[in-house]
Amino acid sequence: MIRKKIVAGNWKMHTDLKEALALASEIIDEIREESPHVILFPPYPYARTIFRLLNDQSPIKLGAQNVHHEKYGAFTGEVSAPMLKSIGVDYVIVGHSERRAYFGETDDLLLEKMNTVLDNDMTPVYCCGEPLEEREAGTHEIYIRQQLEKSVLRLSPDRLEKLIIAYEPVWAIGTGKTASPEQAQSMHAFIRDTIANHFTESESEMIPILYGGSVKPGNAKEIFNQKDVDGGLIGGASLSPEQFTAIIKSFS
Ligand code: PGA
């Protein structure tokens, strides 16, 4: 089964408008037809402007870093899935570890968010990953299985074809510590098996699983070469056009 290869850039709460446009333009200039699928996750205020820079044929797609689980209503300051869809967003990150840690997002809520994203014909990029204590205690697989049981495994099977998963060990995010290619492969295979055991092997085989956590030009190739790693969700290095495009070119 040939799964989509994807490199996604999560800009988090960085850049002003001018910087965001410059960054997007430099990335657009480097992307070729044969490049993997590229998704940019800029801050909300620049999403529409960046969408206008991309043309329909562009292999670069627009994503949002978060969404509210309700479709509309009196939720001051929040952004809904229909709003995102209406400005050209195709992908939404759901359950980044920063949202879990700083905004108290639970897997029950994340299941609702995934369903709202799917109801609006967009693709959720569901993030899972264990904290350092779980890795050190050797309980990382149990931890990830629990995250999946409360979220992805409760989706209806017909929704899986639009799902992307990102495995992002919390201890590797923004720390400069990367999971080794073997650690990444072993967790990606574990996630795929867990999904196959609950649904079917063919359903599990079609889900792209991205690795995230201190991916840089120097380690991307080895990580992306692993059998169950279908690309990366890149934070820090996605703010540098040189580094991000070098990571995109690591798929060769
Ligand atoms: P990082 O972030 O590449 O800066 O570690 C990854 C992420 O948070 O998605």
Residue 96 annotated to the active site: yes
Cβ of 170 less than 6 Å from ligand 1: no
Give the helix, strand, coil percentages of the chain, each rounded to 5: 50, 15, 35
Q: Is there a catalytic annotation at residue 198?
A: no
Q: pLDDT tens digits, the chain, 252 residues: what are they?
A: 689 899 999 999 999 999 999 999 999 998 877 778 999 999 999 999 999 998 777 889 999 999 999 999 999 999 999 999 999 999 999 999 999 999 999 999 999 999 999 999 999 999 999 999 999 999 999 999 999 999 999 999 999 999 999 999 999 998 888 999 999 999 999 999 999 999 999 999 999 999 999 999 999 999 999 999 999 999 999 999 999 999 999 986
Check if the beta carbon of residue 156 is closer than 8 Å to that of residue 163: no
Note whether 95 and 67 are within 8 A (CB): no
Q: What residues have CB less than 8 Å from 76, skipping those under 6 apart?
A: none
Active-site pick, 37, 96, 140, 188 = 96
- Could you tell me if the CB of 235 is within 6 A of ligand 1? yes
Q: Terminal CA-to-CA distance of the chain, rounded, Å?
A: 18
User: Is residue 232 lining ligand 1, measured as CB closer than 6 Å?
Assistant: no
Question: Are 37 and 4 contacting, i.e. CB atoms less than 8 angstroms apart?
Answer: yes
pTM: 0.97
Ligand 1 atom index nearest CA of 238: 3
